[in-house]
């Protein structure tokens, strides 16, 4: 039990109707902070040791200026006294002489009031102030008197001491202000005891065994108390952006590809995409190969043969790579280096589904792996956003249009396309976006039209074209959440609080802005 609690309980111990009339007065007389008294009172009241009734006390407090008047007299009296005491009283005193004697502040207020009270006049010619009161006539310092009366009245009920005109004069001169103080009158509660006994919160096995529970007093249930916040899971910023991208792509009619397999064969990751087996990206320096199981179990054999032929001798107008295609190389397992490995499988399925090819739009947003050296913008695992449209007679214009629509929906309206090279697309274009915050063009994606060397072996009809693009999920997320080091976004150095506090992700589309302008 705290000292404050026991001092309250003992103050009430005298008789059943002992009272602490005002907690504030009690606090100051026992030299304790009033807040501490109130805190203890509330706690004691919760267990019915005391009963509290609210008090509201109004009283005037004197300003610093008023305190100085009580001590030295009002400014106007001080001006008058100075004039009377002046060595050449008939001549009066100039403003600067008065200020030198009494200080600027006193003269500023006192001069006006003494003129108003007709205690002094101002000589027009000399500008000097002269007293009009003969020396020896006693002038009442009304202001000082009223303030002194207020100050000496018992605190807590000084509001009735003065008549209304005096009160409003003092208020007008900002010498007093009304203050309301909240405090409590304290009496014994139904469970008053001079000593507080801590109530038990739980019924224990020991209490049951010993029978002590019978004379233990228990805390009452508080049905209104709120439980501790449970917390919960939070979406990582990457997942927030992913959710938003997914929504946008679905709105655009894209269907999500099953990207849940991270391990792929080199066949799907590279060969099916007409990436030559001698391509440097297929080096262990750039790709994580799997040791166990090192090679894949099966690939569609017929399709494999057609891919092999395309690599070795060509077809569909192409002369191929004209080098030996090795099965062993195609079978090697790896952590997929891009989600285009899945695009390839989806297109193969599309070409070979019962009923034949149907136009389709696919997308995926998932993890890929590259054996790269890590720095502020590169990790060896990251996420790719990939999209493709397969339909008859698509053109590069369709690709540019689709990309523009997608980026407009995430708030990037200025795009530039730059010719590039990918083994599986022709033409290929890098996509640059103007970032209004960063005020510069940044590379935001890669795209192209899949080559006939890739599509023909799958068995897609001759006129079917596939436009496709890919970008990282990390780059737009870092821009959106203003994170400048990728290691603060992803990986073991990430601050969990960042995930918890990251706001929801919303992309203002151009349409949204136009909508807002119409309103
Ligand atoms: N696979 C490419 C990459 O990893 C992206 C891409 C996808 C390019 C589809 C063209 C077409 O960068």
The two three-digit tokens of residue 5, written as one number: 């609690």
User: Which of 468, 471, 473 for mutating ligand 1's site (highest number of atoms within 8 Å of CB)?
Assistant: 468
Give me the sheet containing 415-422, strands edge to edge.
255-256, 360-369, 381-392, 464-472, 440-450, 425-435, 415-422
pLDDT band at 222 (very low <50, low <70, confident <90, very high): confident
Backbone angles phi, psi at 436, to 5 degrees: -65, -30
Residue nearest to ligand 1 atom 2, measured at CA: 470
Counting atoms of ligand 1 from 1, which one is nearest the CA of 340?
A: 1
Burial class (CB in 10 A: 0-12, 13-18, 19+), 348: buried
Residues 6+ apart with CB under 8 A from 39: 4
In this prediction, residue 348 carries a pLDDT of 98
From the CA of 503, how far away is ligand 1's center (Å)? 30
**Cis peptide leading into residue 293 (ω within 30°):** yes
Would you state the pLDDT for residue 1? 56
Nearest alpha carbon, ligand 1 atom 4: 338
Pocket, ligand 1, Cβ cutoff 6 A: 338, 340, 386, 422, 425, 446-448, 468-470
Q: Rounded CA gap, 299 and 407, in Å?
A: 36
- What pLDDT, on a 0 to 100 scale, did the predictor assign at position 516? 52
What is this structure's pTM? 0.59
SS3 per residue for 264-275: EEHHHHCHHHCC
pLDDT of residue 352: 96
Ligand 1: distance of its center to the CA of 446 in Å? 5
CA of 189 to the centre of ligand 1 (A): 78
Q: What is the pLDDT of residues 358-385, one digit of tens each?
A: 999 999 999 999 998 878 778 899 999 9
DSSP E strands in 39-87: the ranges are 50-62
The answer to whether the CB of 379 falls within 8 A of the CB of 491 is yes
User: What phi and psi values does residue 292 have, to the nearest 5 degrees?
Assistant: -145, 110
Q: What is the pLDDT, as a whole number, of residue 519?
A: 44
For residue 511, what pLDDT band results from cuts at 50, 70 and 90? low
Q: How far is the CA of 270 from the centre of ligand 1 (A)?
A: 12
Distance CA 277, CA 432 (A): 30
Query: How far apart are the C-alpha atoms of 450 and 269, rounded to whole Å?
Result: 14
Calculate how far, in angstroms, residue 369's C-alpha sits from the geometric centre of ligand 1: 14
Ligand 1 nearest-atom number relative to CA 428: 10
Supply the pLDDT for residue 36.
93
**Nearest residue by C-alpha to atom 9 in ligand 1:** 469
For the record, the structure tokens of 276 come out as 């030559």
∠ CA 376-377-382, nearest 5°, is: 125
Alpha carbon of 396 to those of 105, 254, 429, 449, 455: distances in Å? 83, 19, 10, 7, 16
pLDDT at 509 over 70: no
User: What structural domains does the chain harbor?
Assistant: 1-74+141-219 (3.30.1370.240), 238-518 (3.30.930.10)
Asked if the model's pLDDT at residue 156 lies above 70, the reply is: no
Instruction: Tell me the residue ranges of DSSP E strands in 123-274.
Output: 129-131, 176-188, 255-256, 263-265
Nearest CA among 346, 390, 382 for reference residue 366: 382
Is the pLDDT at 513 greater than 80, yes or no?
no
The pLDDT mean for the chain works out to: 90
Please tell me whether the peptide bond between 427 and the residue prior to it is cis, using omega within 30 degrees of 0: yes
Tens digits of per-residue pLDDT, 17-68?
999 999 999 999 999 999 999 999 999 998 899 999 999 988 899 999 999 9
Of 269, 338, 471, the one to substitute when testing ligand 1's pocket (max ligand atoms within 8 A of C-beta) is: 338
* Span 449-475, pLDDT tens digits: 999 999 999 999 999 999 999 998 998
Confidence band for 506, pLDDT divided at 50, 70 and 90 = confident
pLDDT, residue 155, reads 67
H and E: helices and strands count for the chain? 20, 14
Which backbone phi and psi does 435 adopt, to 5 degrees?
-100, 110
Query: How far is ligand 1, taken at its centre, from the CA of residue 323, in Å?
Result: 24
CA dist., res. 245 & res. 349, Å (int):
25
510 — pLDDT class (breaks 50, 70, 90): low
Of all atoms in ligand 1, which is nearest to the CA of residue 450?
11
Highest mean pLDDT among 194-203, 256-265, 440-449, 503-512: 256-265
Give the strand pairing for 255-256 and 360-369.
Answer: parallel
């Amino acid at each position: 039990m705290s000292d404050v609690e026991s001092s309250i309980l003992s103050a009430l111990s005298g008789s059943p109707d002992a009272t602490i009339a005002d907690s504030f007065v009690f606090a100051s007389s026992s030299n304790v902070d009033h807040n501490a008294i109130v805190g203890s009172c509330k706690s004691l009241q919760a267990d019915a040791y005391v009963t509290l009734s609210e008090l509201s006390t109004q009283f005037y407090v004197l300003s610093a200026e008023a305190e100085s008047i009580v001590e030295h007299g009002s400014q106007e009296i001080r001006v008058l006294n100075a004039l009377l005491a002046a060595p050449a009283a008939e001549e009066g005193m100039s403003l600067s002489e008065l200020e030198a004697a009494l200080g600027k502040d006193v003269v500023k207020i006192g001069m006006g009031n003494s003129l108003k009270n007709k205690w002094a006049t101002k000589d027009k010619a000399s500008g000097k102030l002269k007293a009009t009161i003969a020396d020896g006539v006693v002038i009442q310092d009304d202001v000082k008197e009223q303030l002194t009366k207020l100050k000496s009245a018992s605190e807590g009920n000084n509001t009735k001491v003065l008549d209304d005109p005096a009160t409003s004069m003092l208020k007008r001169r900002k010498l007093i202000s009304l203050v309301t103080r909240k405090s409590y009158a304290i009496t014994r509660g139904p469970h008053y005891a001079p000593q507080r006994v801590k109530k038990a919160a739980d019924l224990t096995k020991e209490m049951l065994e010993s029978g002590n529970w019978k004379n233990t007093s228990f805390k009452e249930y508080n049905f209104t108390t709120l439980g501790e916040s449970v917390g919960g899971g939070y979406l990582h910023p990457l997942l927030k952006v992913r959710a938003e991208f997914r929504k946008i792509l679905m709105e655009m009619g894209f269907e999500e590809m099953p990207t849940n397999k991270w391990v792929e064969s080199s066949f799907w990751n590279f060969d099916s995409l007409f990436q030559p087996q001698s391509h440097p990206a297929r080096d262990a320096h750039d790709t994580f190969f799997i040791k166990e199981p090192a090679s894949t179990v099966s690939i569609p054999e017929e399709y494999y043969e057609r891919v092999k032929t395309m690599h070795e001798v060509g077809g569909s107008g192409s002369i191929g790579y004209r080098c030996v295609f090795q099965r062993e190389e195609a079978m090697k397992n790896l952590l997929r280096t891009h989600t285009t490995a899945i695009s390839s499988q989806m297109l193969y399925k599309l070409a070979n589904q019962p009923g034949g090819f149907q136009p389709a739009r696919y997308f995926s947003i998932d993890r890929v792996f590259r054996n790269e050296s890590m720095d502020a913008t590169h990790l060896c695992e990251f996420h790719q956003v990939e999209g493709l449209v397969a339909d008859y007679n698509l053109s590069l214009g369709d690709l540019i249009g689709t990309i523009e629509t997608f980026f407009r929906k995430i708030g990037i309206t200025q795009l530039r396309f730059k010719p590039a090279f990918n083994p599986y697309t022709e033409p290929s274009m890098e996509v640059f976006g103007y970032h209004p915050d960063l005020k510069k063009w940044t590379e935001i994606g890669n795209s192209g039209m899949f080559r006939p060397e890739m599509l023909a072996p799958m068995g897609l009809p001759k006129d079917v074209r596939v436009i496709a693009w890919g970008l990282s999920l990390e780059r737009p997320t870092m821009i959106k959440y203003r994170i400048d080091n990728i290691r603060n976004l992803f990986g073991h150095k990430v601050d969990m609080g960042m995930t918890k506090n990251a706001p929801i992700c919303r992309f203002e589309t151009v349409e949204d802005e136009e909508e807002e302008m119409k309103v």
